[in-house]
Amino acid sequence: MNPLVRDYLLLGLRLGRLVDGLVDCYYGDPALPDQVAAEAPADPRELSRQATRTLAALPGSDLDPARRQHLTAQLGALRAVADRVAGTPMSFRDEVRAYFDVEVTRTAPERYAAVHDEMDALLPGPGPLVDRVAEFYRCNTVPPERLQRCVQAVSDALRERTRDRFGLPETERVEYTVVPDAPWNAYNRYLGEFRSAVALNAASGRSVAALPILVAHESYPGHHTEHCLKEADLVRGNGQDEHTIALVDTPRCLVAEGMAEAAVDAVLGPGWGEWTARILAGEGVHVEGERVERMRGLVLRLMPARVDAALLLHDEGGRREEAVAYLRRWMLLPPERAEQMFRFIADPLWRAYSVTYSEGGRLVDAWLAARDPSTSLADRFTTLLREPLLPAQLRADVAGASLVPG
């Protein structure tokens, strides 16, 4: 193993002892976590200095430029994590910029109001819009006792499509479990050897739209597929051991989450709502496929309100009650769902990560749209699955495409 790659892996594992959940997965040399476990917990200030030393050594290393670029971005984010753990003051905006190389700003509420008008037309009837949205979800809910079976049915169908369009290792597999109370809707834990364990929040069945999107996001062709293909191509095929670790607060996460947000479009495309309705009908669950798909498109345009609420809470001195009220008003959430979302944006680990979905989605969508239109969406998406692209690279590609005449 290249010594600088080893330093990077050890830094991530050592920080993971100080920040529970920072190490999303690790499937590399088992001697490294054993070494870290035998050590006393590190001083975060020393870990920051370690990141600086490794960064300084990268330009003169024998690693190729692409690997140096990747490690430079990742190490810079880890240094910021270490600094924050050490007590360095950092605003929410600065934290997001340091971790994910993206700027976040407030979205004008008028944009959300316009989406509300479209929802009002989609869900006509008497009473407040928030009540009609709740009723829509109630009529398109997968009962908790059927959630795992329905998820498995959707997963099996998406797996075959993913294998045909993007390729999968023969031995890959995903196992699903349902958990009762979590700050997220779903969570993929990649185990290495082409295996993933996906935990689903029981509340994620609130809308059937969650099923194809959650499964595509977490498994086929989202996070699980990406991990499998990178393990096969980058780690086993090219000896790039830096990809045996996934660290939450780093630039790669912005691209990974943006890619996973686009996964359902890449594997199914328009009409996925009716496709899902047919799958679930076989499990005895009735849903309004076309309206579910249209509703999901509108809900995505409300997602930046979660970033607004985080800015309100962390940078603008807002109280908990104000942030929850903001989420309820603009995202049209019932109280319990708004409280769950608040937990996510208030959690010390996940608060900055909450921006990766909307901001990563925007960046990846722009990149996919800017690519050569003569190539298929599946081909463009395959590049995201197989190559370790960074936010700066995606932005440069988008900017370059905008300069091409015609």
- The residue-averaged pLDDT of 166-193 equals 89
In angstroms, rounded to a whole number, what is the distance separating the alpha carbons of residues 370 and 401?
A: 6
CA distances 95 to 4, 73, 304, 360, 377, Å, are 25, 14, 17, 16, 33
In angstroms, the Cα distances linking 111 to 106, 304, 305 are: 11, 10, 10
The confidence score (pLDDT) of residue 123 equals 97
Domain ranges of the chain: 3-89, 109-402
What does the longest C-alpha to C-alpha distance in the chain come to?
68
**Interval 329-364: pLDDT, tens:** 999 998 988 998 899 899 888 899 989 999 999 999
The single-letter code of the amino acid at 226 is E
* pLDDT at residue number 52: 98
Q: Is 190 helix (H, G, I), strand (E, B) or coil?
A: strand
Report the alpha-carbon distance of residue 234 to residue 54 in Å, rounded: 21
Mean pLDDT of the chain: 93
Residue 184's pLDDT is 72
Give the rounded percent of residues in the chain with a pLDDT score beyond 70.
97
Span 312-339, average pLDDT? 95
Using alpha carbons only, give the angle 5, 193, 223 rounded to the nearest 5 degrees.
80
pLDDT, mean of residues 9-31: 96
The pLDDT score that the predictor gives to residue 288 is 92
Mean pLDDT throughout 214-230?
96
Within the chain, how many helices (H) and strands (E) appear?
Answer: 21, 5
CA dihedral 393, 398, 404, 406 (to 10 degrees): 160
Q: What is the DSSP letter of 232?
A: I
Burial of 383 by CB count in 10 Å (0-12 exposed, 13-18 middle, 19+ buried)?
Answer: middle
